[in-house]
Amino acid sequence: MIIDLPNTTTSKVSKKLVTIREEGGAVALGRVLTLIIATELGSEEAAIEAANDASREHPMRVIVLLTEPGNPDVEPRLDAQIRVGGDAGASEVIVLRAYGAVASNEESLITGLLLPDAPVVAWWPGRSPVTPASSPIGRIAQRRITDASAGEIPVEAVASLSDSYRPGDTDFAWTRLTHWRAQLAAVLDQAPYEPVESVEVSGAADSPSTVLLATWLRLRLQVPVKYKSHHRGNGSSGIHGVRLNRRSGAVVLERPIENVATLSQPGQPTHDISLPRRSLRDCLAEELRRLGPDLMYGEVVTRGLKEFDTEVRSNG
């Protein structure tokens, strides 16, 4: 069910939600958090779809705040839409389209619609504030999710994570590494139990996850890491592969094509492994499982990136 409320106020939206609950169309019971999605007009549907899918694991209220930057002179107006039932997964979705001066006070648009006594998670699927934790929405959220891959120059966006980081921040460039990190850790837990002497990491030139993976490996293994990036047309997008050099031979995990990786180890047959690029839904659902700070991510972006020598990150 979709209910449109043109030229409205947040107070009227809140009252309408109460009416819907009283009439039995939707209930707030069981909602475990409030997810705020802050993005630009016209780019919201993919994020809403991901939130609806993730809500089946994390029932929540979703507030989508859409603003139109660059139009300060447009007539101030707030249009709202409430989605419940089959149009909202296991959540209730409130879409706020703010125009003109109304869009300048994001916090006041949101606070009256938050679930009481429930954690707040903020997600910027596209462009994000320079320092998310200091932004109007970031100040009221326990967790703040950004996506460096949405930046104009994604690899440079990763570098800025170090300066902007506050406990509670995370980025989908890191979340996309979960399966790679798990697979590499599993390999190193198997015999022969030899130390890694050096590492080589390769990926697409526009892949911020590749930089974070190389940083994580250097931080955890304390060995030289060589980082190579390739432009489009040379392998798949994202991470291409990791080579762990040990005395008995190299362990190589490569993904030459989308979704399938090949694992090669000395003295063992080569294995094909399902290693697809993670969807928005998978990344969001994972981050919503953790409402406290991600300590490893914090260590990687604050200490790891600063220690990651520029020569290691050069192309070649």
CA angle 230, 232, 233 (to 5 degrees): 100
Do the beta carbons of residue 283 and residue 172 sit within 8 Å? yes
What is the model's pTM? Answer: 0.90
* Per-residue buried b or exposed e for 124-144, using 16+ beta carbons within 10 Å of the residue's own CB: bbebbbeebbebbbbebbebb
CA distance 155 to 83: 36
**pLDDT over 50 at 217, yes or no:** yes
* 126-184 pLDDT per residue, tens: 999 999 999 999 999 999 999 999 988 888 888 899 999 999 999 999 999 999 999 99
* 82-113 pLDDT per residue, tens: 998 876 666 789 999 998 888 888 999 999 99
- Extract the tokens encoding 283: 């990344």
Helix residue ranges, H only, the chain? 10-22, 45-54, 106-111, 154-164, 172-175, 178-188, 208-221, 280-288, 295-299, 305-307
**pLDDT over 80 at 316, yes or no:** no
Do the beta carbons of residue 303 and residue 219 sit within 8 Å? yes
